[in-house]
Chain A
Amino acid sequence: MAFVLRRLAAAIPVLIGVTIIAFVLIHLVPGNPAKVILFGSQATPQQIAALTAQLGLDHPLWQQYASFIGQLLHGNLGTSYATQTSVAHELLSRTPSTLILTGAALVVAIVVGVPLGVVAGARPGSLVDRAARGVSFLGVAVPYFFLALVLVLVFSVRLRWFPAIDNGTAGSLVLPAVSLGWGYAAILTRLVRGRIIEEYQSEYVKSARARGCAEWRILLRHALRNSSIPAITTIGLQFGNILTGAAVTEVIFGRAGLGSYLATAITSKNIPVVQGAVVLIGIGYVVINLAVDLIVGAVDPRARIA
C-alpha cells in the first residue's frame, strides 16, 4: 500500500509540470493571443482590448495559471481560436479513434515482437535469431510514415486486400496498426531476445534444468516470465511515443482522430487546442506508467522496495 501511495505521489509533480508547460505555451507565442484570434477580421484596438480582458490576459501570470488549473479541474480546456468550440469536447470526441489505433499498434508490437524475441533468444546465433535481428534492425530504421505508404502501395493499391483510407471497418485498421506497431515490435524483439539470453545464464534456469525441467517449460515459465517485466515497463514508457505516432499515422490514413485536428491546430497556431492535447497526452502518459508501475509491483515484489 505504501508502494501504491509512493507511486501516486511521484506522479503528481509530473502532472503539475505538464500543466505548467501547457500554460507557458500561450505566452511563448509572439504577439497577443487576442490578436491571433481576431486575425484577419480587421479588429479595432478596442475589440482586441475587450478580448484580452475577456480571456483574462491582463491579469498577473500566477492568477492566469490559477484560473487555468481551476478550469482544468472542471474539465474545461478553453475554447478553440478557430471554431470557438470547447477544446475538451473536440479533443475527447476524437480520442477514442486515436486510442483504438494506439491499442491496435500495441497488439501488433506484442504479437510480433515477443514471440520473435523469445525464439531468437532461445537459440542465439541460429538462423531464426539472425533473421529476427535483421528484422528488428530494419524495423527500427524504417520510418513508420514511410512503411505506411509502402504497405498502402502493396496491400491496397496492388493486392487490394485492405483499404488505404479509413472507412470505419476493422479492415481499415490493419495497415495503420501494422505500420505504427512494427517499429515497437522491433524494439520489443531486441529487448526480449536480450533478456532471454541473460535469463538463460541465471542460477534459477540452471537449477531448473538440473532438476530435469522440460526445456519449453524453462523457456516459458522461467525465462519469459522474468523477461516480461522489462517488456511491460518498456511498453509503458513508449506509450507516449506510440500515441504521438498514432496521431501522425492518422493523418496518413485519413482517420478522424487527434492527429489531424492537432496538425491543423499547430500550423494555425491554435494554442488552446495544442495546450489541451499536451495536457491530455501528459495525463495519458502518467496514468499508463502508473498502471505499469503498479502491475510490475504486483508481479515482482523486488520492484516494490526500490
Chain B
Amino acid sequence: MALATATTTPLISTDAPGRMSRARRAAGQAAIVIAALAVVVLLAWPGIIAHVAPTATGNDILAAPGAAHWFGTDQLGRDVFSRTIYGARPVLVASLLGVVLATVAGVGIGLAAGTAPRWLNSVIMRVVDVLLAIPVLMIALILIATAGSGVRSIVIAVGVAFTPGFARVVEASVRKLRSAEYVQAAKLFGSSPARTSVRHLLPNLLTEVVVLGTSAIGWAVLTATTLSFLGLGVQLPQPDWGTDLAAGATNLATSWWLSVFPGLAITLTILAANFIGDYLLAAADPSGRLRRAHDVRAMLTGRRRPRGTLAAGVPAARVPAEDTPAAGLRADDAPAGDAS
C-alpha cells in the first residue's frame, strides 16, 4: 500500500491548481460562457424559452409532466416550466446584486481598514469580527425583520450579511500589499493614501475580488432562496424558485413536480456557480496561496478562523512562512486538495 500511495501521488497534482488540465480549462471556460448567456436570457428575455406566461391559469389542473407541459402544472393550471424559467429572475437578481453590494461594501471597508491607522483598523476589524460571529442567515433574517419582505430586502440582506467576510479578506490582502515595493515607492513620491488605494492597491486586488465574488454567488443563491422559501421574498402568484418550492411542498405526496423542478433549478444554479468559482480560483491563483490564506468559501459563510487558532492544523514548520512571499511556492503546498 505504501508503494500504491507513492505512485498515486502524481495523480493529485493533476487537480492541483498549478497544473490545470486542458480539459478542465475548456470545461471552465465553456461553463462561464454558458452561464453568462443563461443569466442574460433569463434576466432579459425569459419569454423566448417559456412561451406561456408564468401566472396564466389553465384548465389542466395538477397535470403530470408531459408533452403539453414539460414540468407539469400546478393547482391553478399554471405551467411549472414557465414558472421555473421566470422564477430565475428574482433569485438571480437577489443573489447577483447582493454579491455586488457585498463586494463593493467589503472592498470599501477592507481598503479603509487596511490603510487606516492601527487603532482605527483594530476598531473596524473588531466590529467585522462581531458581525462574522452571527450566522449569515441570522443577519439576513434580522434585516428582513426590520425592512420587510421582498426582493429588495433580500438584496440588502444578502449584501449586508456577506460584507464582513469580504471586508476581512480584502483587509488582509491590503495589509500584505502595503509592504509591496511599488506601494512604498508611490508613498515616497508623495502619493496620497486615497490615490495609493485607487491607483495601486485596488487594481492589484481586482483579480482576487472577482474570484471571491464569484465563489460567493453559490452561497448567495442558497441564502436568497432560503429566505424566499421562508416566505420572505417574492409573494405568490409571482414566480420564484424558493416561493414555488415551498408552495409545492403542500402537494408533495401527489404532485412531486411542483417542488422538484424549482429545487433542481436552485441546485443547478449553485452547482454552476461553485464550478465556475472553483475554476476561477484555480486559474487566478496557480500557487494556491490565496486559497490557503483565506479559505475563501469559509470566510463567506462565517467559517472564520479565530485569531488564536490560526496556527491550528498548519504544520508548525509552515507557520512562520505564512506571510513570506515564498509561502505559496513551497513544494508541499501544491495539493490543496479541495479542487473538486
Contacts and interface: CB of A to CB of B under 8 A. Distances in A.
Nearest to B248: A149
Given A17-B130, A244-B135, A145 B145 contact: no
Contacts of B186: none
A229 B312 contact: yes
B303 interface: yes
Most chain-A Cβ atoms within 10 A of its Cβ — which of B133, B218, B245, B301? Answer: B133
A146 B146 contact: no
Contacts of B4: 123
B140 to A, nearest CB: 9
Interface residues of A, number: 87
Give the most central of B2, B134, B260, B340: most A CB within 10 Å.
Answer: B340
Given A197-B12, A271-B145, A21 B134 contact: yes
A303 interface: yes
Nearest to B143: A28
Contacts of B225: 143
Nearest to B313: A230
B302 to A, nearest CB: 6
Given A248-B226, A281-B138, A306-B310, A122 B337 contact: no
A214 to B, nearest CB: 9
Interface string A115-153: 000000111111000000110111011110110011011
A67 interface: no
B332 A149 contact: no
Interface in B131-160: 131, 133-138, 141-142, 144-146, 149
A285 interface: yes
B319 A302 contact: yes
A241 B11 contact: no
A256 interface: no
A17 B129 CA distance: 9
A121 B9 CA distance: 11
Nearest to A240: B135
Contacts of B26: none
Contacts, number: 228
B315 interface: yes
Contact of B12 (A124, A209, A229, A278): A124
Given A241-B301, A251-B230, A200 B5 contact: yes
Interface string A85-124: 0000000000000000000000000000000000001111
A226 B137 CA distance: 31
Given A153-B252, A194-B338, A197-B335, A266 B144 contact: yes
B222 interface: yes
Contacts of A143: 222, 225-226, 229, 263, 266-267, 270
A234 B267 CA distance: 24
A293 B2 CA distance: 35
Interface in B1-28: 1-2, 4-5, 8-9, 11-12, 14
Contacts of B256: 153
A149 B267 contact: no
A286 B263 CA distance: 33
A266 B145 contact: yes
B308 A306 contact: yes
A125 B14 CA distance: 9
Interface in A154-181: 157
A215 B226 contact: no
A267 interface: yes
Nearest to A22: B142
B332 A198 contact: yes
A77 to B, nearest CB: 15
A215 to B, nearest CB: 4
The dominant DSSP class at the A interface is helix
Interface in A268-294: 269, 271, 274, 277-278, 281-282, 285-286, 289, 292-293
Nearest to B127: A17
A230 B137 contact: no
B137 A245 contact: yes
A230 B130 contact: no
A277 B139 CA distance: 11
B274 A125 contact: no
A34 to B, nearest CB: 16
B8 A123 contact: yes
A193 B337 contact: yes
Contact of B312 (A28, A121, A230): A230
Interface of A: 3, 6-7, 10, 13-14, 17-18, 21, 25, 28-30, 121-126, 133-134, 136-138, 140-143, 145-146, 149-150, 152-153, 157, 190-191, 193-195, 197-198, 200-202, 209, 215, 226-227, 229-230, 233-234, 237-238, 240-241, 243-245, 248, 251-252, 262-263, 265-267, 269, 271, 274, 277-278, 281-282, 285-286, 289, 292-293, 296-297, 300, 302-303, 305-306
Given A197-B335, A244-B137, A271-B145, 19 more contacts: A10-B306, A14-B130, A21-B130, A21-B142, A122-B5, A124-B335, A138-B267, A143-B222, A146-B259, A149-B252, A193-B337, A226-B313, A234-B298, A237-B302, A241-B301, A266-B232, A285-B134, A306-B307, A306-B310
Interface of B: 1-2, 4-5, 8-9, 11-12, 14, 126-127, 129-131, 133-138, 141-142, 144-146, 149, 218, 222, 225-226, 229-232, 245-246, 249, 252-253, 256, 259-260, 263, 266-267, 270-271, 274, 298, 301-313, 315-316, 319, 332, 335-338, 340
9 contacts: A18-B130, A121-B337, A122-B5, A145-B246, A193-B337, A241-B301, A263-B230, A267-B231, A289-B306
The 8 A-B residue pairs whose C-beta atoms are closest, nearest first, are A194-B337, A17-B130, A125-B11, A133-B340, A146-B263, A230-B313, A240-B135, A306-B311
